[in-house]
Amino acid sequence: MKVLLINGSAHSKGNTFLALSEVAKTLNAQGIETEIVQIGTKPVRGCIGCNTCWDKGLGRCVFDDDLCNRVVEKLAAADGLVIGSPTYYGQPNGALLALMQRVLYSNAPAAMGKPAASVAVCRRGGASATYQTMNLPFEMLNMPIVTSQYWNIVYGREQGEAALDAEGMQTMRTLGQNMAWLLQKIHRDGKPDYPEYEPHVFTHFIR
């Protein structure tokens, strides 16, 4: 089994990376492979709502000029997902939101049913709103949200300060334990056992 972790911070070795690494170490100790993908500093295109990914059945975004389709492929091969972000004005990094909206929409079947979790890192406040915002897409794709002993929040501003947040680091380890436990239950017979769902009914409020 494998969990994909996405560092939504431009700082490849900052506090968000430290938080995700703590989750990864716990998963590794449970025999689960992990990979941390860095969002980096290059521009990430936002979704333009062209719907080409669905209309043509591409299974990926029609635009291939950033890391979106690399993440689409990695998510398809993974069994679980954890995304982490610093808190900017009470919100996740805009580049991470743009990335995940395109990844999860362009190949939704690759994400459906897979356990997912969000991690928010902040200096002082706004982490709860950031955390909730990142979880919203998971609820639309039948992705079980993996929780911990507290909201998945770590505090720290300067590089390395997150490691000093003892409760935050413990929260990350508990998150890793819960993710491992859930994955082991889902894959107990060697293959994923997801629920069967009714065909999706779409309703609109304008006639």
Structure tokens at 59: 């299974």
Look at residue 139 and tell me if it is in a domain: yes
List of residues 6+ apart from 3 with CB closer than 8 A: 24, 27, 32, 33, 34, 35, 78, 79, 80, 81, 82, 179, 183
> Is there a domain that residue 110 lies in?
yes
pLDDT tens profile 17-45: 999 999 999 999 999 999 999 999 999 99
For the segment 162-191, what is each residue's pLDDT rounded down to a tens digit?
A: 999 999 999 999 999 999 999 999 999 988
Residue 70 within a domain: yes
Question: Quick check: is 27 in a domain?
Answer: yes
Alpha-carbon distance of 126 to 106, in angstroms, equals 29
Is residue 127 within 8 Å of 151, Cβ to Cβ?
A: yes
With 90 as the cut, is the pLDDT of residue 204 above it?
no
Place of tokens 């969000």: 118
pLDDT at 202 over 90: no
Domain of 79, in residue numbers: 2-186
Q: Measuring CA to CA, how many Å separate 24 from each of 17, 129, 141, 176, 201?
A: 10, 24, 23, 7, 37
Specify if 21 maps to a domain: yes
Inside any domain, residue 194: no
- Domain count along the chain: 1
160 in a structural domain: yes
Amino acid identity at 191: K
Q: Is residue 157 part of a domain?
A: yes
CB 162 within 8 A of CB 169: yes
**Burial (CB count <10 Å: 0-12, 13-18, 19+), residue 126:** middle
Q: What CATH number is associated with residue 122? A: 3.40.50.360
Please, which residues bridge with residue 117 across strands?
A: 82
